[in-house]
Structure 1
Amino acid sequence: MHPEPVPKPEEPLALSQRETECLAWVSRGKSSSDIGAILGLSPRTVDSYLEKACAKLRVRTRIEAVALAVRTGLIDPI
């Protein structure tokens, strides 16, 4: 018999720089098209970064992701 694995503490939230940038722009009310123009990306690429951020943060919407990112200090609301 193997001993029960010890549960690991919750890993800190880690987003890529682009995921964080996209969330920060969402927090400022920008659309995917706006963010794409600002960062030189297609709106679909922006959506992809936001989807990845949502998955990492375990939330369903970009608004929930922004709220959690602000609460945890990942982005600074301006």
Structure 2
Amino acid sequence: MNANLNSLGGWVAKPELSPRELECLGWVSQGKSSTDIGTILGLSARTIDSYLEKAASKLGVRTRIEAVAIGVRRGLIEVD
């Protein structure tokens, strides 16, 4: 089962983030901008924004910072 127990004791689906979405969130957690991440990955800033928007949507949040916080809390990404 691909699910987690929430704080109320109910099961919630664990979102399936793509490897690229996780990679972008990891770079955001390191303080990188979309332009920086695009340069690192050889992609446009708009493409990076798209990956981050999809990740945030899958995690049920609106901003990239919220997505990073949820990702860390759920163990989807690690921060140093």
Q: How does 1:22-61 map to 2 (within 5 A)?
A: 22-61=24-63
Structure 1 unaligned segments of length 5 or more: list them.
Answer: 1-8
What TM-score comes out, normalization by structure 2 length? 0.84
Kindly name which structure, 1 or 2, has the bigger radius of gyration based on alpha carbons: 1
Kindly indicate which of the two structures has a greater share of residues assigned to strand.
2
Partner of 2:18: 16
* Higher relative contact order, structure no. (Cα contacts within 8 Å, ≥ 6 residues apart): 1
The residue type equivalent to 1:67 in the other structure is: A
What TM-score comes out, normalization by structure 1 length? 0.87
RMSD (CA atoms): 0.7
Displacement over 4 Å in runs of 4+? none
Identity %: 67
Structure 2 unaligned segments of length 5 or more: list them.
Answer: 1-10
